Amino acid sequence: MRIAFYAPMKPPTHATPSGDRRMARLLMRAWEISGHRVELASSFRSYDRGDARRQLRLKNLGERLADRLIRRYQTRPVDQRPKAWFTYHLYHKAPDWVGPRVSDALSIPYMVAEASYAPKQANSVWKLNHNGVGAAISKADLIIGFNPDDAACLSPLVQVPAQQITLPPFIDAERYHLSSLNRTPYRHALAKRYGLNQNVPWLLCVAMMRNDQKRNSYEVLAQALGQMRDQSWHLLVAGSGPAERPIKTAFDALKGRVTWMGAQDENALSALYGASDVFVWPAIKEAYGMVFLEALSAGLPVVAGHSAGVASIVGHNRNGLLAPQGDPAAFADATTRLLHNTSLRTDMSKRAQEDMLKTHSLDHMGATLNQLLERVMAGEAA
């Protein structure tokens, strides 16, 4: 079946890497491996930082683009038109002005994934966008969420409650799974390159360095590790960004125990996951965190800050440990527990990879999306 795909926040063709772009690409691949033909309907970005006049211009532009798409699709032979529309990630800063309009004109199902609706934005500078998101969600035939926290605010808008479903987030896990099979050579190579001691546990952190919750998470991590200076460990940090200087300053008291590696490509990251012992990230205000999926795919036990989205990936006392969000002392206690219990780390590593292959893999998501689409096309509740 031909599916029209759209990502109003950031198209999968965008030049700048991000988790949003990555998930858009993964969803396209998931549809493709389940046997469907996916075409990018538009690369139009409706994203706005809070300018009401600009939002109106974007709305008008989006609707004109939708009308242009409608005319284009209607000139095609019937068997070459999209039979369903799928929008990824719409919220008050990036509404979907295109998908509902096209879906109505072509009489095809309108499906969305990772939609969020914040009632507190009803009278904010994003009022127009907020109303647009609400209208789009109300028209959706299927609403897929990856973060359980989003469900409560979406539910009142859903015409048929059974059309709303929360699925486990996913990645293409193969690269990271294979890295766990090469732990020894990866560890030797990294030790040689960075002058690391292979006889102490390596903690790994992978995150961008932004002046938002990312910086807050780094600061909690620095405070937690500061309470563990009498223990044996070394922290590896992969990431860069505009907040790099203040983030590094937060770790000043831990000089000599932190190796800053900067931004790393996927091959280098998979080697880091494979070579390390514990993945640590406080995840302040994190939706769910792609890095946790990567770490668990490599069999790396996780210590994370607790939220509903993160807990949908990191099972406490199963494949990792969860600490109350923003609590350095609790985070230090959880990390210490894993550092001092090698057998627990081994058990969690095994369960981590089992969970990823069973629940969070690309193949699993492809099969699930196909089942949901079949129900939507048949007019059944999801």
* Structural contact between residues 282 and 291, judged by C-beta atoms closer than 8 angstroms: no
Q: What is the pLDDT along the chain (382 residues), one digit of tens a residue?
A: 999 999 999 999 999 888 899 999 999 999 999 999 999 999 999 999 999 999 999 999 999 999 999 999 999 999 999 999 999 999 999 999 999 999 999 999 999 999 999 999 999 999 999 999 999 999 999 999 998 888 889 999 988 766 899 998 999 988 898 999 999 999 999 999 999 999 999 999 999 999 999 999 999 999 999 999 999 999 999 999 999 999 999 999 999 999 999 999 989 999 999 999 999 999 998 888 889 999 999 999 999 999 988 998 999 999 999 999 999 999 999 999 999 999 999 999 999 999 998 889 899 999 999 999 999 998 865 4
Measure CA of the first residue to CA of the last residue in the chain; give whole Å: 19
pTM over 0.85: yes
Token reading at 177: 């799974």
In which residue ranges of the chain is CATH 3.40.50.2000 found? 2-170+361-377, 174-359
| Spatial separation of the C-alpha atoms in residues 57 and 135, rounded to whole Å | 18
| Spatial separation of the C-alpha atoms in residues 82 and 149, rounded to whole Å | 31
Strand partners, 236: 204, 259
Strand partners, 91: 94
Element of type H or E holding 191 = helix 183-194
Amino acid at 85: W
Phi, psi values for residue 69, rounded to 5°: -65, -45
Residues 6+ apart with CB under 8 A from 55: 48, 126, 128, 129
CB atoms within 10 A of CB 51: 12
Three-state DSSP state, 163: helix
Q: pLDDT at position 380, please?
A: 65
Three-state DSSP state, 240: coil
- Each residue of 76-104: pLDDT tens digit? 999 999 999 999 999 999 999 999 999 99
Q: pLDDT at position 213, please?
A: 93
| Spatial separation of the C-alpha atoms in residues 95 and 91, rounded to whole Å | 5
- Each residue of 35-54: pLDDT tens digit? 999 999 999 999 999 999 99
Inter-CA distances, 167 with 111, 148, 267, 368, 377, Å? 14, 9, 28, 9, 19
* Structural contact between residues 84 and 111, judged by C-beta atoms closer than 8 angstroms: yes
Q: pLDDT at position 162, please?
A: 62
| Spatial separation of the C-alpha atoms in residues 27 and 37, rounded to whole Å | 12
Q: pLDDT at position 343, please?
A: 95
DSSP letter string, 38-90 = EEEEE------SS-HHHHHHHHHHHHHHHHHHHHHHHHS-GGGS-SEEEEEEE
Where would I find the beta strands (DSSP E) of the chain?
2-6, 37-42, 84-90, 110-115, 142-145, 164-166, 202-206, 234-238, 258-262, 278-281, 302-305, 320-323
- Each residue of 315-336: pLDDT tens digit? 999 999 999 999 999 999 999 9
The CATH superfamily of 174-359 is Glycogen Phosphorylase B; (3.40.50.2000)
Name the maximum alpha-carbon separation found in the chain. Answer: 71
Phi, psi values for residue 215, rounded to 5°: -60, -40
Instruction: Return the CATH architecture of domain 2-170+361-377.
Output: 3-Layer(aba) Sandwich (3.40)
Q: pLDDT at position 379, please?
A: 82
